[in-house]
Amino acid sequence: MADPLSDVLSLLKPRSFMSGGIDAGGDWSFQFERSNCFMCFALVSGHCWLLIEDVDEPTELAAGDFVSLPHGPAFRLASDLAVSPVDVRSVITGPLNGGIVTWQGGGACLGLTAFFTFAAEHANILLGLLPPPVHIRSHADRAVMQWYLERMMVVLRNPQPGSVLLGEYLSQMMLIELLRLHVTQKETERVGWLFALSDRQLSVAMTAMHERPGYRWTLQKLANRAGMSRSAFALRFKKKVGISVMEYLTRWRMLLAGDRLMNSHDSVSDIALSLGYESDSAFSFAFRREIGCSPRQYCHVRASASAGSISS
């Protein structure tokens, strides 16, 4: 039986396009500019601070900590936030992928960074519900994450044939494990679909939506699955996830629809019917509201983009 986290990651198809490490010495501060990527950072040794754009309080990181930034904001990593930042692009003068860059002799702090893109269009539909940062402290199932770190260090320090592909797979496994661990942490004040998976009753309802996206779910039916009253379920879901139950269901359906429009020969009518819509017009209205264009326009744009990439 599938689960919502596996469903989402399978659909988003994360791809690690760059991974590597920086071994810093002395006092240092690196500035990372805003990007369209999902970033994961692991502190192998030492101590540093993470300061994220538009977040007032910095996050203290210790050896063994992992953190991810889903939305690609600008951020700073520093031994001391009073140190003037250096653009990290000036530190990485060569290709980072497959190696570790040494800064000021190294030895004080070693961190590994992986940047991900997602093959699925409109990944932000669900990633947008995940607030930064996802922070896993070193005491949380350290043995598992330590294994990934050790394997990644071997790959980066001693590149062999196949190292680039192995590094990509290890990065993806670390991302999945990081999110899995975060689901098990009890942080009641965090908001987002990922955090709702740690709520036993809400996770039952979310799993039902993922297993049968085409079923004609109502708020009452999902509340029954969760074993809650309709009003209590609606209130807790919105508080935990950040949007209403039916909004979440619609977003999940539209992600599935976009994937099928791009990767199958199914007609719009077939997709609409399989996702619980009684008419093409109702489906198209929901699709346009979430994605920004009609299903047929979406197909046309994707076909044009694919043709352009092939011709180039």
DSSP letters along 134-160, please? EEE-TTSSHHHHHHHHHHHHHHHHS--
Beta bridge partners of 116: 16, 38
- The C-alpha atoms of residue 137 and residue 290 are separated, in whole angstroms, by 35
Topology, domain 193-307: Arc Repressor Mutant, subunit A (1.10.10)
- The C-alpha atoms of residue 92 and residue 100 are separated, in whole angstroms, by 9
Q: What is the pLDDT of residue 248?
A: 94
Class of domain 4-184: mainly beta
Element (H, E) at 91: helix 88-91
Q: What is the pLDDT of residue 105?
A: 92
Burial 236-274 (b: 16+ CB within 10 A, else e): bbeebbbbebeebbbbbbbbbbbbbbbeeeeebeebbbb
Cis omega (within 30 of 0) on the bond before 213? no
Q: Which residue has the tokens 């005491």?
A: 139
pTM for the structure as a whole: 0.76
Which residues of the chain does CATH 1.10.10.60 include? Answer: 193-307
Q: What is the pLDDT of residue 175?
A: 83
Residue 168, helix vs strand vs coil: helix
Q: What is the pLDDT of residue 35?
A: 84
Q: What is the pLDDT of residue 307?
A: 43
Tokens at 26, concatenated? 């002395």
Q: What is the dihedral of CA 175, 291, 272, 306, to 10 degrees?
A: -80
Which residues of the chain does CATH 2.60.120.280 include? Answer: 4-184
Q: What is the pLDDT of residue 121?
A: 63
Question: pLDDT tens track of the chain, all 312 residues?
Answer: 467 888 888 877 787 667 778 999 999 999 999 887 888 889 999 999 999 988 889 999 999 888 888 777 899 999 999 999 999 988 876 545 457 888 999 999 999 888 888 776 667 776 766 666 778 887 656 677 778 788 888 887 777 888 878 888 888 888 888 888 777 766 556 677 877 888 889 999 999 999 999 999 999 999 999 999 999 999 999 998 889 999 999 999 998 998 899 888 899 999 999 999 999 999 999 999 998 899 988 877 655 544 444 343
Q: What is the pLDDT of residue 3?
A: 79
Report long-range pairs for 58-62 (Cβ below 8 Å, ≥24 apart).
Answer: 59/133, 59/135, 62/137, 62/138
Q: What is the pLDDT of residue 186?
A: 61
